[in-house]
Amino acid sequence: MRKLFAFAALAWLLQALLACQSRPDAEDFFPLEAGHRWTYRVETRLEDGSPPEREQLRILSQGRQRLPVLGDVEAWLRHGDGGVDYWLGRDSSGIYRVASQSLLDEAPQVDQPRRYVLKAPFVVGSSWQADTTAYLLLRSNEFPREIRHVHPHILMSYQIAATGVELATPAGRFKDCLLVNGLATLRLYADPATGWRDQPLRSKEWYCPGVGLARLERSEPAHGGFLTGGERVLELEAFE
């Protein structure tokens, strides 16, 4: 009988160890290693009543590369099928972007100062600031209509609002995720009746262990006048 109990205990222990080994690293909220692929479903709704726009975004992690603009420093490259490349770093302070390059850039553009994606420690209350722009705001009677051409650099404040969050996506259900809230304020001349006003830009981002960004919500309301705002939702469809 004792041998049976010992065998059962050993079997349970082996199962527990295998389960622990199969779990994603609890700290790996933004995988950088080569070979990972993300497919996102993106839906954009504008306040002008136009039909929602739906598209897919695919991102490929291509591993470490030396970046001459940083003095041959190695960084992790991510390529998006929209034509934008990002180089990222990771250390005890968190995950941060070191450079980016769009189709219009001749060479990678270095981020100065360091632009955090997620700042450690990964606990409620951790906060940081990073550059953003207005992705959805449009003017009704000007060209170009996009506000981002006039205000390309807006400082957004981010904070980890919750940990241990469960999240359902088209790619599956995830546990122990981080919820990060972002808020920025853009001072804009709205229209002759309203004059100048503070325009809020809000984001919610969910990062899940072993997967990374699983959902993003962006809100840029305008509520009429000479401005049109909108919302954009990005959801993970597939990950490998």
The reply to whether 161 falls in a domain is: yes
Find the DSSP H helices in 57-212: none
Q: Which of 121, 150, 111, 112 is nearest to 133 (CA)?
A: 150
Run of H or E residues at 165: strand 154-169
pTM of the model: 0.85
Q: Check whether 6 has a pLDDT greater than 70.
A: no
Q: Which of 218, 69, 215, 203 is nearest to 85 (CA)?
A: 69
The reply to whether 193 falls in a domain is: yes
Per the structure, how many domains does the chain have? 1
Q: Which of 142, 138, 120, 106 is nearest to 30 (CA)?
A: 120
Contact 158, 129 (CB under 8 A): yes
The reply to whether 155 falls in a domain is: yes
What pLDDT digit, counting tens, does each position of 25-51 carry? Answer: 445 899 999 999 999 999 999 988 889
Q: What is the pLDDT of residue 27?
A: 53
Amino acid, single-letter form, for residue 117: V
What pLDDT digit, counting tens, does each position of 208-225 carry? Answer: 999 999 999 999 998 777
The CA angle 32-129-31, to the nearest 5 degrees, is: 10
The reply to whether 200 falls in a domain is: yes
The reply to whether 49 falls in a domain is: yes
- The pLDDT-based confidence of 9 (bands split at 50, 70, 90) is very low
Neighbours of 41 (CB within 10 A): 17
* pLDDT above 90 coverage of the chain, percent: 56
Q: Taking residues 2-23, report their average pLDDT.
A: 34
Q: Which of 89, 96, 157 is nearest to 126 (CA)?
A: 157
The reply to whether 12 falls in a domain is: no
The reply to whether 73 falls in a domain is: no
The reply to whether 175 falls in a domain is: yes
Domain of 181? 24-58+122-239
